[in-house]
A and B are shown apart, each in its own frame.
Chain A
Amino acid sequence: MQQAMSAAERVAQEDLVLFINACFACTGQSEFYGASERQSVSIRFVHEYILGNYRRLYARTLSAGVNHFNQALIIQNLLRMGAPRDPQQRREEGQLILAALLGLPPQRVYHLFRDLRQLRCNNRRTRAVMAAYLARRPDLHFDAVKYRAHVRAVAAHAHLRLPGEVGAFVFIGAKQRGGYTTPLFESVRRAHYAADAVYDLPYSIAQGFARKHRIPQDVFLSRIAGRLTGSEALRLLDTAERVGATGIDVDLSRAPLTKLCLYLLDRPLSERRERALEFVAALRGSTQRAIARSGRNQRLGRVIAILDRSYSASGSEEKRRRPLAVALAASQILRAVASDYRAIWTPGLPDIVGTASENSGDAAPDPGPERELLASAQGQTALGEPLLSALSAQPDLIVIVSDGFENDPQGACETIVRLFRQHLDRKRAISIVHANPVFDSDRLMPRSLGPSIATLGLRDAEDLLTMIGFARFADGSAPLSELEQYLEARVPRLLRRLTRPDRSVAESDPGTAASAGAAEVRS
């Protein structure tokens, strides 16, 4: 601890770190060791506690890069509480909310709006936010088709007058006399009667019509291929192959990294061996895009990652193999940004040829993505030996990706790091970070390996670099003021979204409920 903190400050600092950490990892879904109900009760409690005590920081957490589930939950809680009295805080909060909403996937935003409606949250601010969001949608016609029930619910809830034919479409639909002049709406109307019109619609909508018109699956998939979104195409690859549809062509390297890893780990082992070259190229491409998107061209020095592929990395029914996929993805990112990188998997990875082999020796080389692709979730969690061989190599940074349930033996990691720091590395020349893809509902945070190791939640490996930046707060060594500064500094970056040139309604401010940009859709 470089600087003495008052007790109150320390509590506040710990609370916030716990909260942000939970926000990186928790999604309210079940985990290997915990059921989903407990998760959602647990995370809701943390949210309400932080909102009640540290409202300003709570809102600013939106800019910390926490996951979508928690961003939506923060926005929901802020809107339910009504606007704060201080005009400056109100303004900042309003902007943060809108900026965060624009960054969320639309289905999640509409889901959030539906929840607000069910909670009967209908204050001025909520209505203004809904209006402002719809006004900024790049293609409201498309939304009206794909999320018709949601758009209708939002319009009714916030008393909005929707522009052009959108209102008529969402409220009357196909029964509109005389049809629509908007081509997309007209296609929907025609799709009720003509099988041909189905192919102009987004896939999820067309699917229902295809069933109605009894279009064979192979014909349907072949003709709709052009309209599939990236993740739809990825999901349908297998189906297409099975029914013999053609034309679905996925550029794997354009898939988001963690999603790609999930997909690759889902392939049978034999296929992973046969298509190794293609898969590795896809991993490379996707990694580069992930790093570019994170906007951080920081280079890390010499890095060693310890990646846990024990049986618990198989995840749960809802998050199958997610911890394993996060470890695989994190390894790709670190390999790309580190000047010198080595991955140590525990238990050791199988050989390319198929025989099991341990890579526990100190000098074992980096397995490389070809072998990492063969990872499966099996075996015990032995972190002690890998950590020792990492320490003896003296890198700049050690990243441990594990769910924190160490059992061979329990607590070895913590003791090793503590003794190492006390006696061999007083200057903390080696940073050690534990990234945990799993939220532990009992502790309200990702499970830690011990007090000596900073633990951070990591849902998507894409956030890894952001998270490493946040790591110095997690072990409690940085004072509260620095954490506040850190969050404050990230706020403008998030707000940049509001002033992008293609968005004409930059001056909109839902915080004050009177915005010129939203007027178009407001009643």
Chain B
Amino acid sequence: MKVTTGLLQTLSLQGLVPAPPQQCGAVRLLPLLRSQVRDDLRLSLRRYGEAIGMVALEGEPDSLRADRGIVPGLKYIGYVPHGLVVSYSEDGSPVAALGTQLHSQGDARADGHAAARCVRLLHRMVKREGERTLRLLPMHLAMEGLLSLHFGGPDIAWSEYSRRAIRYGLDPRSESAVPGRAIANLEEALRVFEIHDAQCGVMICVADALASIFVVPNPSDYRALHRSLIEDFYGELIAQYSQQYRSVLSLGRSESSLPVPRSVADLRRWLSDERAHWADVGQVLAGGFLGRGLRAERLYRMGPFVLQRFVTSLQISDENHIGEAIVREDGTVEYMKSFRLSDKQVKRAYLLQVLAAHHWNLDAAAASQRQTRDQWVERLRNAGFEYLLSDAVLRAARKRSG
């Protein structure tokens, strides 16, 4: 894995070995085993009573006090059932994972009684809470990265854009995802899943499409966080696959690979080959993700660790993932959570990228895609960016295309 200044450039599962998958319907869970576990970084879960959270991305924290109220500034609102608390040490000495109960006062809640109908107010996606502890909102870190992509809107005030786009940029920008419970069989698969002793992560595949890779630093952290996977959110594509496919094919080796054993030792060799085969299967299933170029952004540095979020190339023809990771100085992935983007989400991000690359000039962007200006406008409209363009441009395009 290439790492410069602690940022990921490509992803590999170095230090983690995929074990044979456990399957339930079309959901396949591949345990990731870590051979060398260090104790200087631990994660623990902080459960929030409310499903909805509002995160103040900039400025002062929001408060419940009447004199301060909600502070103006950029907000992120989403499904935030839990946060993760990271504790670490800089000199490699072991740390204990924090109990979830002890530290639950960190974040304010907008309403004291009706947990179901209120919103939790959170300050920043990543917040330092103590000398060596950090609170982060898993998955939202990455999602916020996607949403904030070219969030400022046109950098030159071209007359083709609506006044709103010039003034406020892409605000408000939203993307949708699907909660784990909406994915058929995922809950059952997680319930009956048998956690390995050295397990530090899992690859979730639905109909053999990689939905998410989840990695933690320590096996006991994994045990504690395993059930939280059902509360996470996943790509729409994954939910569709889970409804379409009842089961998946066995990925075992063919009959012809069976040896003619002369002794029990030959059988033993066959079994270790079998394990190697399953480790390869893990690499193959994650093939659209591992080894691909990444763009990473550093969010926080804590001693030897760097918290970052990343996104794959955003090419429309490939499968694309976003995610967040904590990477040690030597390149070991200590924590990671990834999210498979749906094609529509990729398309939106891609269009914004093309626009930004051409300084938001419609004609130049269209030409780069070998499209006419009208086709390009139509494409933006279909992707849901109608609100960025001025009425005149939209009307003219519609008129010409008849």
Q: Which residues from chain A sit less than 8 Å from chain B, CB to CB?
A: 32-33, 310-312, 347, 356, 378-381, 384-385, 388, 391-392, 405, 407-412, 415-416, 419-420, 423-424
Of all A-B residue pairs in the complex, the 4 with the closest CB atoms, nearest first, are A409-B20, A311-B194, A392-B264, A380-B194
Q: How far is the CB of A213 from chain B (nearest CB, A)?
A: 43
Known pairs A409-B274, A409-B275, A410-B20; A379 contacts B268 (CB<8 A) = no
Residue of A whose beta carbon sits closest to that of B31:
A380
Q: Which residues of A contact B259 (CB under 8 A)?
A: 419
Residue of B whose beta carbon sits closest to that of A423:
B261
Q: How far is the CB of B224 from chain A (nearest CB, A)?
A: 14
26 sample A-B contacts, Cβ–Cβ < 8 Å, listed by A number: A32-B192, A310-B194, A311-B194, A311-B195, A312-B192, A356-B197, A378-B195, A378-B197, A379-B195, A380-B31, A380-B196, A381-B194, A388-B268, A391-B264, A405-B192, A407-B21, A408-B196, A409-B278, A416-B270, A416-B271, A419-B259, A419-B267, A423-B260, A424-B261, A424-B262, A424-B264
Residue of B whose beta carbon sits closest to that of A415:
B258
- Complex: how many Å from CA A366 to CA B31? 30
- Complex: how many Å from CA A356 to CA B220? 14
Known pairs A409-B275, A409-B278; A420 contacts B261 (CB<8 A) = yes
| Contact status B267-A408, CB under 8 Å | no
Q: Which residues of A contact B261 (CB under 8 A)?
A: 419-420, 423-424
- Complex: how many Å from CA A385 to CA B275? 11
Q: Which residues of A contact B172 (CB under 8 A)?
A: none
B252 at the interface (CB under 8 A from A): yes
- Complex: how many Å from CA A117 to CA B248? 48
Q: Which residues of B contact A381 (CB under 8 A)?
A: 194
| Contact status A388-B252, CB under 8 Å | no
Residue of A whose beta carbon sits closest to that of B281:
A409
- A-B CB pair tally, cutoff 8 Å: 74
B148 at the interface (CB under 8 A from A): no
Q: How far is the CB of A438 from chain B (nearest CB, A)?
A: 12
Q: Which residues of A contact B250 (CB under 8 A)?
A: 410
- Complex: how many Å from CA A351 to CA B397? 76
- The answer, among B195, B258, B267, for a CB contact under 8 Å with A388, is B267
Q: Which residues of A contact B252 (CB under 8 A)?
A: 409-411
| Contact status B20-A408, CB under 8 Å | yes
Residue of B whose beta carbon sits closest to that of A410:
B20
The 8 A CB mask of B239-276 against A (1 = contact, 0 = none) is 00000000000101000001111111001101100110
- Complex: how many Å from CA A407 to CA B20? 7
Residue of A whose beta carbon sits closest to that of B192:
A33
Q: Which residues of A contact B264 (CB under 8 A)?
A: 388, 391-392, 420, 424
Residue of B whose beta carbon sits closest to that of A406:
B20
- Complex: how many Å from CA A425 to CA B270? 17
B22 at the interface (CB under 8 A from A): yes
B306 at the interface (CB under 8 A from A): no
- Complex: how many Å from CA A408 to CA B279? 11
- Complex: how many Å from CA A416 to CA B194? 22
Q: Which residues of A contact B194 (CB under 8 A)?
A: 310-312, 379-381, 407-408
Residue of B whose beta carbon sits closest to that of A392:
B264
Q: Which residues of B contact A356 (CB under 8 A)?
A: 197
Interface residue ranges of B1-53 to A (CB < 8 Å): 19-23, 31
- Complex: how many Å from CA A519 to CA B23? 61
- Complex: how many Å from CA A311 to CA B226? 14
Q: Which residues of B contact A410 (CB under 8 A)?
A: 20, 23, 250, 252
Q: Which residues of B contact A424 (CB under 8 A)?
A: 261-264
- Complex: how many Å from CA A380 to CA B264? 23
| Contact status A412-B271, CB under 8 Å | yes
Known pairs A388-B267, A419-B259; A347 contacts B20 (CB<8 A) = no
Q: How far is the CB of B288 from chain A (nearest CB, A)?
A: 23
